């Protein structure tokens, strides 16, 4: 029985408007003030957040300073991209329907809380917990991100479905033992979700309600 649904944010509850190439370029520009190209080259296959932490870890007393500057730059760009953006038109109704069925609702996201507040100011009336990168260094696909959300919701992994628009969402859920669902809202194909091992694949998050109704 599903007692909790945890959602990714960008691309899942709201359209994805981030230019990841720009974000990475800005962070690398800052990093070049601290490290040479060989360090950046060694991080070429890392996600942006992991790259920031890895570069900071190579530095001594400059590590905290670089980490702060890089995340500040990232935050400014993310909030700017979020201005004027809204949730998908069906998102709030879907979350309300889930909670009316006794399902707890959480969000885990690699972005900052300011982005959530900008796009979803009435969040508290629709969601039981939010875990952003401000709450943990170890964000999805690291299962620690999922663990923190489930700890707040007080629901077991096997009673939870993790929903997202990217294979990292599926990877994080599978690593912690939740059910997983991919949504086809833009950047990941059905085949990619199948290859990632998703338990369910939906056109959008409304499929989670249909899943619950099927359970009933």
For the chain, the domains span: 4-16+86-215, 20-82
CATH number of 4-16+86-215: 3.40.50.1000
Distance between CA 84 and CA 118 in Å, rounded?
9
**pLDDT digit string (tens) for 148-190?**
999 999 999 999 999 999 999 999 999 999 999 999 997 899 9
Query: What is the reported pLDDT for 139?
Result: 97
pLDDT of 52 higher than 80: yes
Instruction: Tell me the pLDDT band of 216, cut-offs 50, 70 and 90.
Output: low
User: What is the average per-residue pLDDT within 183-210?
Assistant: 96
What pTM did the predictor assign? 0.94
């Amino acid at each position: 029985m599903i007692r909790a649904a945890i959602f990714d944010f960008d691309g899942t509850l709201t359209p994805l408007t981030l230019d990841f190439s720009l974000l990475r370029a800005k962070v690398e520009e800052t990093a070049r003030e601290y490290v040479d190209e060989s360090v950046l080259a060694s991080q070429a296959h890392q996600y942006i957040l992991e790259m920031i932490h890895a570069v900071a870890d190579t530095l001594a007393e400059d590590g905290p300073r670089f980490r702060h500057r890089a995340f500040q730059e990232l935050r400014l760009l993310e909030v700017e991209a979020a201005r004027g953006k809204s949730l998908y038109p069906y998102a709030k109704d879907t979350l309300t329907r889930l909670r009316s069925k006794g399902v707890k609702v959480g969000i885990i996201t690699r972005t900052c809380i300011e982005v959530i507040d900008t796009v979803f100011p009435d969040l508290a009336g629709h969601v039981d917990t939010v875990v952003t990168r401000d709450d943990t260094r170890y964000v999805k696909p690291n299962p620690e991100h999922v663990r923190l959300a489930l700890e707040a919701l007080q629901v077991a992994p096997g009673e939870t479905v993790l929903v997202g628009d990217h294979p990292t969402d599926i990877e994080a859920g599978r690593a912690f033992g939740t059910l997983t669902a991919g949504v086809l809202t833009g950047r990941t194909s059905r085949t990619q979700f199948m290859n990632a091992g998703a338990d369910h694949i939906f056109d959008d998050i409304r499929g989670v309600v249909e899943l619950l109704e099927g359970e009933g």
